Each structure stands twice: as C-alpha cells, then as structure tokens.
Structure 1
Amino acid sequence: MNEQLLTTLLQQVGSGEVNVAEALRRLRHWPVEVLESARIDHHRPLRTGQPEAVFGATKTTAQLIEILGAMLATPTVVLATRVVPEKAELILASLPQLTYHPTARILTGNDRHIPADSGRGTVVIVTAGTSDLPVAEEARITLQWFGHEVATIYDAGVAGIHRILAHSDLLQQGRVIIVVAGMEGALPSVVAGLTASPVIGVPTSIGYGAGAGGYAALLGMLNSCSPGLAVVNIDNGFGAACMAAAINRTG
C-alpha cells in the first residue's frame, strides 16, 4: 500500500464508491503480514516512499516462493534482488507471474502497480565497463520499478575518456547520476566534475589482485577531490538506486 493507493481508497470511501467493509478487506494485511519465513512490511511505502524489496541471495527457494507469492497478492510492486538463475528457474515454475532479469539477477512482478510520476527528473546510470553491468542493471531495474525515469551510458570508462565526454549534455540533464566502476574507481570523480547534479559512486569488485575485491575502487571514490560525490558499498546497485530515488522523489 503506497500513498497514491491509500489516497485513492480514502477518496473512494468518501464518495461512496467503496464501502467500509471493502476498504477494511483491502487494508487487512496492513501494515505487517506475518508469514512462516518472514514479516512483510506493507507500511514501508507510506513510511519511506519506497516499497519493500526482498534480498534473495541467502533465502531458500521455498522461502522466496512464500514471500513473493504473498507480495504478488497485494497492490505493490514485487522486487527480489540477487537471485541466481538456478533459483529463479524454480521460483518461476511456481510463480509464472514474475519476470527474471538475468543480468541484474532480479525477479520482478506486479508491474501494473509501478507508481506514476514518482520522480522529478531522470536518473542517469553510467558504467566504466561492460563488466560493471550486473551492478548497474540492478540499479536500473530497481529505479524503474520504483517509478523513476532512467537513462544509461554504459562502457564509458576513463581508459577512453572521450566516451564519457561525448555524453556531457545527458550528464547535465540528469537529476541524479549513478556511476558504477571497478578497477581504480576513477570514473565517478570525472563525472562529478562535469555536472552540478549529485553523483552516487558504486565501487564494484571488478579488477585484478591489488583491487582487493573492490576496496581499491571504494577507497579511490571516498578520497575523490570532486565535490558532490557520495559513495555506497561495494557492488551495491540496489542501495545506490534507493538513494537516487530518495533524491529524485517528488513530494
């Protein structure tokens, strides 16, 4: 239940289009629905402006089927992150209403409930290389299911600096910019120096031995001399998307 849906329901009750009993039926599982393996927080969109998402990496297939099945029955978007293909295949066999996005490793559902007019502008997602795509796609799918307009500039790292400079107009137009980079993590500093918009750096675990699984990129971004740059955790495309949504959100 998000703010738009609750406002509509209250208006329908006020006009007599929906009676009190039907309104109570729709609100019955609000704010928390207790399952065997989880407690679904239906109140989260009203409280934070963002729907609940499910972290799928360490949940069993049975747990995800129970949780996602319950969420599909409610008027909210369904989003499960870090779901490996083998697990997704089994889940889809039970819940064919879901869609799997293999690059992002995300399951989505209930697209008819994607909120409209959630953002004030476009969120631009930039990657340094093709290897950063899984993290960038996690951010893109999340933002789209949260109701935000997204544009992408992929494979535009500093090894060929002209590739990102060619998109300076789009960077200037972005309300928020997410920059995903591994190796030395230099690209967010470059982008932050090209735009007045807030930039969110996402270090990835892409790189060779001294990259230390993304720590080199993380430290490089944290030590940037470019103002207006904030940094999330290694490989945290979902977290970057949530921060961008909070900045870009209307109201």
Structure 2
Amino acid sequence: MDTAYLEKLLYQVKNREMSVGQALESFKTLPYEDLGYANIDQHRNLRTGQAEVIFGEGKTPEQIAGIVSHMIKNNERILVTRADKQDYQAVMQTVPEAEYDETARIILIGGKPEPVKTKGPIAVLTAGTSDIPVAEEAALTAEYLGNEVDRIYDVGVAGIHRLFGRLDRILKADVVIAIAGMEGALASVVGGLVQVPVIAVPTSVGYGANFGGLAALLSMLNCCANGIGVVNIDNGYGAACLASKIRIGK
C-alpha cells in the first residue's frame, strides 16, 4: 500500500473532510501490487469477504514463496491450493510456521479460525475413498474460511445403505458438498433427501468412459433433484467458497 495515500486518507478523516465509511470505500479500489510475474489483489477480502488464495499449480516454488512473502504483510492467514512438497519447502523459507496437507495439496499459513457457529456445519460427502483428495481441499478451505465441517466419506450409491447410515449427520448440515467421480450419482440422491443447498463436485476418478470427470459433470448437471449447483471437475476449493458464502455470507 502507498504510505502517502494512507496518510492522505487519515488526514482527511481526522479533519472531517471524509467520513470513515468513505475512506473504507476507497480501499476497495486501491491498485494491486505488481511483482512482475504476479499482480496481488491485496484488498479482495475487503471487497468480497474472501481474501485472495494462491493457486499453486503451474507456478514455480520461488514464485509461490515470493507471493506469500508479500501477502503476509497484509494478511494474517494465507491459503495456497494445488501445492506440492517443493512449494511447501520454498514457502517455509519465508514463513517457517506454514503447514502442509499432502492429501489436499494445501499450504496453510496462520492456522484455522474459530468456526462461526450457525445451525449446522458444512457436510462434505464423498462417494468413494478415491474422492478424498478433492474432499479435503474442500474441507480445509471451508475451515480456513471460518466454517465448521463434518467429513462423511465413502458413502456412494454402490452401497447406498452406507449413506443412509450417516443420514442423521447429513440432515444437520446447513450446506452439503457432494463429491463423486464415476457417474456422479451421489449428488442426485443427496439432493432428494435434504432441504438445504447441495453443491455437487464431479471428480476425475473413473474408468475411460468417465472422460476425466466429464461423465460425472454432465450427470450432475442433469440431476432431476432440485436445489443442486455444480462446480467444475475436481474443484473442491470452489465448492467450499460457495458453501461458505451460503452458510456465513463470506
């Protein structure tokens, strides 16, 4: 942030040339921080309620560490998705207290906040164990955003009694994230059982005709149950962001 710009704002507020509300509004349009290889949106949290998250895939470990080193100045907590161990090792050179979850491929800095208590948690469901990496990306992101999460894994329709055995927990949720590969039938079944929004996440898990998750995606888009939204293939992060906005508004 430009120090001169901040001093000017403080002067205007102090001398009643500008209200606190007007000063706050001006922060929403401040320019990004240009690193040459990345433009950091340091004020996204102020505008949208969710801080910028670093998508690690395709970036070098050095680029990720560089972005983190600048974001940490203005953010107590930072999330990096689709990161590997090399990325984590580079980040640790800047922020030694960073944590890494290998299953979710997430680097977390600053820990998880205390969850906002509402009627119920976000229930994260998977059809199979193979869907857990996507589910953990969703669960950890939801917790990073301040949500209570209930993980309910391996309850796919191939053994539907497993789903009914967890139905009491599912019915307590404010939002359900249903994650499935193969034909993606879990979302449709869950959508016919609950009163709350269901966010369907197709995964790339499946044999050849699954087409890398396309079959599950199309199946979820064609669900006959009501109240189901669908995010992109393997997009646990996006599902968590949407679920958080539904549950606590951010």
Q: TM-score, normalised by structure 1?
A: 0.83
* Contact 1:192/1:229 (8 A) holds in 2: yes
RMSD, matched Cα: 2.7
Q: Which residue of 2 aligns with 1:236?
A: 235
Letter of the structure 2 residue corresponding to residue 90 of structure 1 = A
Instruction: Please report how far the alpha carbon of residue 159 of structure 1 lies from its aligned counterpart in structure 2 after TM superposition.
Output: 0.9
Q: Which residue of 2 aligns with 1:189?
A: 188
* Contact 2:64/2:87 (8 A) holds in 1: no
Instruction: Please report how far the alpha carbon of residue 111 of structure 1 lies from its aligned counterpart in structure 2 after TM superposition.
Output: 2.4
Letter of the structure 2 residue corresponding to residue 110 of structure 1 = G
* Contact 1:120/1:248 (8 A) holds in 2: no
- The whole-number CA distance in structure 2 between the counterparts of 1:76 and 1:47 is 17
Instruction: Please report how far the alpha carbon of residue 117 of structure 1 lies from its aligned counterpart in structure 2 after TM superposition.
Output: 2.9
- The whole-number CA distance in structure 2 between the counterparts of 1:128 and 1:226 is 17
1:62–1:180 CA distance, 2 compared to 1 (3 A): same
Instruction: Please report how far the alpha carbon of residue 40 of structure 1 lies from its aligned counterpart in structure 2 after TM superposition.
Output: 1.8
- The whole-number CA distance in structure 1 between the counterparts of 2:107 and 2:118 is 22
Q: Which residue of 2 aligns with 1:144?
A: 143
Task: Please give the residue correspondences for 1:1-251 in structure 2 after superposition, counting only pairs within 5 Å.
Answer: 32-111=32-111, 114=113, 117=116, 121-250=120-249
Residue ranges of structure 2 left out of the alignment (5+ in a row)? 1-9, 15-26
Q: Which range moves more in the overlay, 226-235 or 69-78?
A: 69-78
Q: Which residue of 2 aligns with 1:19?
A: none
Between the aligned residues of both structures, percent identity stands at 48
- The whole-number CA distance in structure 1 between the counterparts of 2:121 and 2:115 is 14
Instruction: Please report how far the alpha carbon of residue 31 of structure 1 lies from its aligned counterpart in structure 2 after TM superposition.
Output: 6.0
Instruction: Please report how far the alpha carbon of residue 193 of structure 1 lies from its aligned counterpart in structure 2 after TM superposition.
Output: 0.9
**1:32-74 deviations in whole A, cap 9, x for unaligned?**
3332332222221121111110100011111111101222232
1:118–1:62 CA distance, 2 compared to 1 (3 A): farther
SS at 1:230's partner residue? strand
Instruction: Please report how far the alpha carbon of residue 206 of structure 1 lies from its aligned counterpart in structure 2 after TM superposition.
Output: 0.2
Q: TM-score, normalised by structure 2?
A: 0.83
- The whole-number CA distance in structure 2 between the counterparts of 1:47 and 1:53 is 14
Instruction: Please report how far the alpha carbon of residue 90 of structure 1 lies from its aligned counterpart in structure 2 after TM superposition.
Output: 3.4
- The whole-number CA distance in structure 1 between the counterparts of 2:208 and 2:147 is 37
Q: Which residue of 1 aligns with 2:4?
A: none
Residue ranges of structure 1 left out of the alignment (5+ in a row)? 1-9, 15-26
- The whole-number CA distance in structure 2 between the counterparts of 1:53 and 1:120 is 27
- The whole-number CA distance in structure 1 between the counterparts of 2:144 and 2:163 is 27
